């Protein structure tokens, strides 16, 4: 474990900002950060996580656009994001990160608050990853953007957040930065290891953690000490009711909050007490927002500081917005102001809190020799929430398809179940019926 304190965070951020600008980078440039910590032992990886946080913060305060990239992506997947973002620099080695946070020099005219947020890539229903760009709100609105969440969760200098997820993902990185911006501390494990996390509850007495249900599943397999948390936030996948109630019992209903959001923006918050009274809800609209459901699709009217666009995709941006409201295509219903999800986008699989888009996976597997037609879908999984499954037709063997996926897809995108069929089911319009396949046997 490595503990990053606010003073060290500010010092490392200032040094990294000077180092980035010394490389000739200018406002608006994109900087790809391929987080390298997975290649190192836990203690070294934890220190590298501190470097990642500081470098991302330095880029944002310098008017640069950091683009975090999952290191588990294949070379081709990483290359697409780097090329699409037009990155002026790519940081992917430990030495790069360390040298930036130890740079000796000064950066002038740094913004008081990070400008916008990192540009995370989300695959979307088309299967082509697109960056969610927020720097368009400008420096003036950025304080409101960050205070929105600081006020929501009431973070102060007394808080310590225990990071569970990888920093290439939006929520773990955002929460670490929020607590550090408030003057608190971030406890960094390097990688998620349930016994190490359990020991950190005793050693560091964290006051906050962001979790996804798969984290909880593995932690509750252990004999945990009493909860030290004043606040636990969870999201990223549907939490099984039995698991959620166990969390409420362990941490207390006053400490647990769920939220519903996406890479693009935040929709709701839900206290444990509200959920206990209305099981299944994901809560009410966050402060300053208003929810609307049109033809089953959820729309969120949002403040100006929460606007985003899709990088290099005006058409996709226009489709996502209607005035001050945006949608990511999820389905739901409202009951007395409380939102209930009717299902995520039909083609979205959320496995271990990570989005997997069938269109992207299908595009890769359809190129496998001997594959005629493919369909990727999710099935319920007690540990991961959903697991990625594949049905296909053609002459290729399941071993052929698995080998093809191994070389071309990140591990979390690879099908865990592969089934060969004589023909895939289609509806009257000729579309493959993924939901029929998801309900069938293996």
What domain range includes position 219? 2-343
The mean per-residue pLDDT over the stretch 105-122 comes to 91
> Residue 216 to residues 154, 193, 228: CA-CA distances in angstroms?
23, 12, 15
Are residue 334 and residue 240 in the same domain, yes or no? yes
Are residue 199 and residue 321 in the same domain, yes or no? yes
The pLDDT score that the predictor gives to residue 427 is: 62
Phi (first) and psi of residue 294, to 5 degrees: -120, 120
Highest mean pLDDT among 122-136, 308-322, 342-356: 308-322
Q: Of 18, 84, 87, which is closest to residue 55 (Cα–Cα)?
A: 18
Are residue 328 and residue 419 in the same domain, yes or no? no
Alpha carbon 259 to its chain's center: 13
What is the C-alpha separation between 440 and 442, in angstroms, rounded? 7
User: Roughly how many angstroms between the first and final C-alpha of the chain, as a whole number?
Assistant: 41
The pLDDT score that the predictor gives to residue 351 is: 86
The answer, yes or no, to whether residue 281 has pLDDT greater than 60, is yes
**Crossing angle of the two packed helices 170-181 and 138-153, in degrees rounded to 10:** 90
Residue where one domain finishes, among candidates 324, 343, 362: 343
The mean per-residue pLDDT over the stretch 94-117 comes to 92
Query: Which tens digit of pLDDT belongs to each residue from 312-338?
Result: 999 999 999 999 999 998 888 999 999
Q: Which two tokens stand for residue 314?
A: 């005006």
The answer, yes or no, to whether residue 428 has pLDDT greater than 50, is no
Mean pLDDT of the chain: 92
Which residue has tokens 């269109």? 359
- Which has the minimum average pLDDT: 149-158, 317-326, 337-346, 383-392? 337-346
The answer, yes or no, to whether residue 441 has pLDDT greater than 60, is no
Q: In what order do the strands lie in the sheet with 89-91?
A: 65-69, 30-34, 89-91
Residue where one domain finishes, among candidates 318, 343, 368: 343
What is the C-alpha separation between 106 and 92, in angstroms, rounded? 23
The overall longest dimension of the chain from CA atoms, in Å, is 66
Are residue 201 and residue 291 in the same domain, yes or no? yes
The mean per-residue pLDDT over the stretch 68-97 comes to 93
Are residue 328 and residue 386 in the same domain, yes or no? no
> Residue 312 to residues 95, 132, 318: CA-CA distances in angstroms?
31, 10, 12
Query: Which tens digit of pLDDT belongs to each residue from 191-202?
Result: 999 999 999 999
Are residue 177 and residue 308 in the same domain, yes or no? yes
The enclosing domain of 48 has a CATH number of: 3.40.50.12780
419 has which bridge partners? 391
Are residue 339 and residue 353 in the same domain, yes or no? no
The enclosing domain of 373 has a CATH number of: 3.30.300.30
Are residue 359 and residue 423 in the same domain, yes or no? yes
Q: In what order do the strands lie in the sheet with 130-133?
A: 121-122, 130-133, 309-310
What is the C-alpha separation between 270 and 282, in angstroms, rounded? 6
| 375-381 long-range Cβ contacts below 8 angstroms, 24+ apart | 375/424, 375/432, 375/434, 375/437, 376/349, 376/415, 376/434, 377/349, 377/434, 377/435, 377/437, 377/438, 378/349, 378/350, 378/351, 378/438, 379/417, 379/438, 381/351
Alpha carbon 44 to its chain's center: 23
Are residue 42 and residue 188 in the same domain, yes or no? yes
The pLDDT score that the predictor gives to residue 127 is: 59
Residue where one domain finishes, among candidates 297, 316, 343: 343
> Residue 36 to residues 3, 215, 274: CA-CA distances in angstroms?
18, 22, 40
Number of domains, the chain: 2
What is the C-alpha separation between 173 and 354, in angstroms, rounded? 14
Report whether 123 contacts 360 (CB < 8 A). Answer: yes
């Amino acid at each position: 474990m490595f503990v990053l304190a606010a003073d060290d965070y500010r010092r490392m951020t200032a040094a990294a900002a000077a180092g980035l600008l010394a490389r000739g980078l200018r406002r608006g440039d994109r900087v790809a950060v391929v987080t390298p910590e997975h290649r190192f032992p836990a203690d070294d990886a934890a220190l590298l996580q501190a470097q990642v946080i500081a470098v991302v913060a330095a880029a944002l305060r310098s008017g640069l656009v950091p683009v975090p990239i999952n290191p588990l992506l294949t070379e081709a997947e990483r290359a697409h994001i780097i090329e699409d973002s037009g990155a002026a620099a790519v940081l992917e080695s430990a030495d790069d990160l360390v040298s930036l946070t130890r740079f000796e020099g000064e950066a002038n005219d740094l913004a008081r608050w990070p400008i916008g947020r990192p540009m995370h890539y989300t695959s979307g229903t088309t299967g082509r990853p697109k960056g969610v760009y927020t720097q368009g709100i400008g420096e003036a609105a950025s304080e409101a953007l960050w205070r929105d969440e600081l006020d929501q969760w009431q973070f102060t200098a007394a808080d310590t957040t225990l990071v569970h997820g990888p920093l290439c993902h939006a929520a773990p990185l955002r929460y670490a930065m929020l607590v550090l911006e408030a003057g608190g501390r971030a406890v960094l494990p390097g990688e998620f290891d349930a016994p190490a996390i359990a020991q950190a509850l005793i050693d560091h007495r964290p006051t906050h953690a962001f979790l996804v249900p798969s984290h909880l599943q593995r932690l509750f397999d252990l004999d945990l000490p009493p909860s030290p948390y004043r606040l636990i936030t969870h999201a990223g996948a549907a939490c099984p009711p039995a698991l959620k109630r166990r969390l409420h019992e362990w941490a207390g209903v006053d400490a647990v909050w769920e939220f519903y959001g996406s890479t693009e923006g935040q929709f709701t918050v839900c206290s444990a007490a509200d959920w206990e009274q209305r099981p299944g809800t994901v809560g009410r609209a966050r402060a300053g927002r208003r929810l609307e459901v049109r033809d089953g699709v959820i729309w969120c009217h949002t403040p100006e500081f929460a606007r985003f666009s899709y990088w290099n995709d005006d058409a996709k941006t226009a489709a996502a917005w209607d005035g001050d409201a945006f949608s990511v295509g999820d389905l739901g219903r409202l009951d007395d102001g409380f939102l209930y999800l009717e299902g995520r986008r039909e083609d979205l699989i959320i496995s271990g809190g990570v989005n997997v888009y069938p269109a992207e996976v299908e595009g890769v597997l359809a190129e496998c020799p001997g594959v005629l037609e493919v369909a990727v879908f999710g099935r319920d999984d007690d540990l991961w929430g959903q697991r990625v499954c594949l049905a296909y037709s053609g002459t290729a063997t399941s071993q052929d398809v698995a080998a093809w996926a191994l070389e071309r897809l990140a591990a979390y995108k690879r099908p865990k179940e592969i089934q060969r069929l004589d023909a895939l089911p289609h509806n009257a319009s000729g579309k493959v019926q993924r939901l029929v396949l998801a309900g069938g046997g293996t």
